[in-house]
Amino acid sequence: MFNYIIARTPCKALIDGISSADDGKPDYDLAMKQHLAYLDALRKCGVEILLLPPLEDYPDSVFVEDPALCTKHCGIVTRPGADTRRGEIDSIEPALRRFYGDKIEHIKAPGTLDAGDVMMVGDCFYIGKSARTNEEGASQLITILEKYGMSGHVVPLEEVLHLKTGLAYLENGNLLAAGEFINKPEFAHLNIIEIPESESYAANCIWVNGTVIMPSGYPATESRIRELGYRVETVDTSEYRKVDGGVSCMSLRF
The yes-or-no answer on residue 162 being catalytic is yes
pLDDT of amino acid 99: 98
| CA neighbor of 134 nearest in space, from 116, 156, 152, 153 | 156
Distance CA 150, CA 124 (A): 6
Total domains, the chain: 1
Tens of pLDDT, residue by residue over 174-194, are: 999 999 999 999 999 999 999
pLDDT of amino acid 159: 85
pLDDT of amino acid 160: 83
Give every strand in the sheet of 167-169, ordered side by side: 167-169, 174-177, 191-194
Of 11, 74, 205, 249, catalytic: 249
- pLDDT tens for the chain, 254 residues long, are 999 999 999 999 999 999 887 789 999 999 999 999 999 999 999 999 999 999 999 999 999 999 999 999 999 999 999 999 999 999 999 999 999 999 999 999 999 999 999 999 999 999 999 999 999 999 999 999 999 999 999 999 988 889 999 999 999 999 999 999 999 999 999 999 999 999 999 999 999 999 999 999 999 999 999 999 999 999 999 999 999 999 999 999 99
Of 35, 45, 162, 205, catalytic: 162
pLDDT of amino acid 136: 98
Q: DSSP code of 23?
A: S
pLDDT of amino acid 23: 82
Q: DSSP code of 234?
A: E
pLDDT of amino acid 253: 98
The yes-or-no answer on residue 74 being catalytic is no
pLDDT of amino acid 31: 98
* In contact, 212 and 206? CB cutoff 8 Å: yes
CATH of the domain at 172: 3.75.10.10
pLDDT of amino acid 246: 96
Tens of pLDDT, residue by residue over 13-59, are: 999 999 887 789 999 999 999 999 999 999 999 999 999 999 999 99
Residue range of the domain that includes 35: 4-253
Distance CA 109, CA 89 (A): 13
